[in-house]
Copies of this chain bind each other. A is one copy, B any other.
Amino acid sequence: MARKKDESVKERSADELFKDFKEVSITEFFRKNKAHLGYSGKLRSLTTVIHELVTNSLDACEEAGILPDIEVTLKQMGSEHYRFTCRDNGPGIPEQHISNVFGKMLAGTKFHRSVQLRGQQGIGVAGVTLFSQMTTGKPVRIITSTGNGKVHDIQLMVDVTKNRADILEDNVISQKWRGTEIQGELKGVLFNLGERSPYEYIRRSAIANPHLKITFVDPEGRKSVFDRTSKEIPKPPKEMKPHPKGMDTDELINRAKRSQSRRVSSFLETEFSRISKSKADEIQGMVNFDLKKNPRKMAWAEAEEITKAFEEIDFMAPPVEGLRPIGEEQIDKAVLKILKPEFSSVLTRSPTVYGGGVPFQVEVAIAYGGNSGRGNSDDGGRAEIMRFANRTPLLFDTGACAINQAVQSVDWKRYDIRDFDNSPVTIFVNLVSVHVPYTSAGKQSVSSEDELVKEIRMALMDVGRRFHRYHSRMRREIEKEARMNTLIKYSSELAAAVSKLARKDEEKLTKSLQTLITKKLKIEYKALESEDKK
């Protein structure tokens, strides 16, 4: 017993426990929790690198109004050891920002703006630098120029404890070129051509970005060129004002504090979409304080009265200009080109908002038959769900994603797809928003906010109904043909019998009987089809 007592647990004081209290840098945090950024597993880590680089190049080109031309190369250096290069024709990076773009986390041009871009966190590319350095101990190389005749050729490494990058080398070359190239090495990663590979990531990027030309040279030296199918540069994303619907009090206060307006009323009118003078008057009638008040002095309870009024008042839907869907025509082109389906249907819904007044919009497509579905996949079912957020392919963390949840929530049997998982069907969903609520810094899964799931579901049910109509018609066509064939078969026998009885020309009789049958059936089916449309 005595021995047991010695082994028993001694209490320790709070002071003793807190002697190690420390703060860490965000870089150090992600170094230790690299799975948060998508760096887990050999294949996923490599796909994540490609994802971050392509996303960044695309955003830069579109913001600058340039038709993107991107070249990605992966070269094998040894076992689980690769070298990556990503070169774009984008606007380049001004000298003073290079080290921050590639080496500082939570820094960027996108965070504070309510603008639809692929990146929104200010973490991704700095994460690539960190991961490359963590697996190889080597710097990344950046070659960039804004087109001013000077090309910077830089080597940089992240200082993990300080969340900043140290430039080890900076060579300036005089050359007329504009764009950015990043090169680096990775260890402990693997390439393949599977469903979640860098290749598939690039292929899907091409599908969702018809204006993109992207070239990929894989480690075997195979070159794939995905040429653009459209030369139209998407309009640069526009900063969008928040919409009053769904606005929360915290965000309202936050914006009020940063506002330059002298009155709450003018703050609301200028900094929100769809709040006119008359709407502001309506709000005034519903709150217990004077909207002439200085917005920077608005109290929480007052802001709460406003958000409550927002909920009760009808506002116009958010404007479409700030959101950049791919477009029904472009999706249809892309889908038809690749999947050659028996049936396809595309739908872009009108913009609406989710919590916090964030505008979003949903585009969906369904393709059935042809090369739709996943083909001979090992993963079980044939149905394929292609998820995109602001045209960025989402390949991982499917289970928790709002898009996947919406697809699963649809009762496909109602639309004549009896065994959805095993049907030759491809579902395409693109979520367009100025802020996509990802579930983690790895950005592969959309948080299942009610409004998002509902909108996606509604859109899917719509294309589901279209498939149902097509399928019923197809079934009827088949039935009609069968019936016609039967009748026509008997018509010649009937004609032979009648000709014997009535002594009429058998051939003539057969013909007129067949004409009769065809006419009758056409009328019948027309009636059915017009009923269908009701």
Contact = CB atoms under 8 A, between A and B. Distances in A.
Interface of A: 8-15, 17-18, 20-26, 28-29, 31-33, 35-36, 40-41, 60, 63-66, 91-94, 97, 100, 104, 106-109, 111-113, 121-122, 133-138, 146, 160, 188, 233-236, 248-250, 253-254, 300-301, 303-304, 396-400, 435, 437-442, 445, 447-450
28 contacts: A9-B233, A9-B234, A11-B64, A11-B91, A13-B64, A14-B93, A15-B94, A17-B109, A18-B97, A20-B113, A22-B108, A22-B109, A22-B111, A23-B104, A24-B106, A24-B107, A32-B111, A32-B435, A33-B438, A35-B437, A36-B439, A40-B439, A40-B448, A135-B248, A137-B300, A138-B300, A400-B400, A440-B442
A45 to B, nearest CB: 11
Please indicate which of the listed interface residues A66, A97, A440 has the most CB atoms of chain B within 10 Å of its own CB: A440
A29 B400 contact: no
A135 B11 contact: no
Nearest to A26: B26
A153 B410 CA distance: 52
A17 B437 contact: no
Stoichiometry (number of copies): 2
Given A21-B97, A32-B435, A64 B440 contact: no
Nearest to A100: B21
A450 B188 CA distance: 13
Contacts of A113: 20
Contacts of A438: 33, 35-36
B65 A11 contact: yes
A21 B109 contact: yes
A136 B12 CA distance: 36
A190 to B, nearest CB: 12
Contacts of A121: 29, 33
A22 B112 contact: yes
A94 B12 CA distance: 13
Contacts of A60: 17
Question: Is chain A's binding surface mostly helix, strand, loop or mixed?
Answer: loop
B21 A236 contact: no
Given A23-B104, A438-B33, A439-B442, A109 B11 contact: no
A107 B22 contact: yes
A167 to B, nearest CB: 17
A93 B441 contact: no
A78 B35 CA distance: 39
B9 A108 contact: no
A351 B32 CA distance: 21
Contact of A40 (B234, B254, B303, B447): B447
A117 to B, nearest CB: 11
A22 to B, nearest CB: 6
A107 B109 CA distance: 27
A368 to B, nearest CB: 26
What are the 6 closest A-B residue pairs judged by CB atoms, nearest first? A399-B399, A137-B300, A440-B440, A35-B447, A9-B65, A14-B146
Contacts of A400: 396-400, 445
A12 B91 contact: yes
Given A137-B300, A399-B399, A437-B40, A14 B100 contact: no
Contacts of A65: 9-12
A111 B353 CA distance: 38
A396 B303 CA distance: 33
Nearest to A131: B250
A25 B106 contact: yes
A353 to B, nearest CB: 16
Given A35-B447, A137-B300, A400-B397, A94 B24 contact: no
Contact of A23 (B33, B106, B441): B106
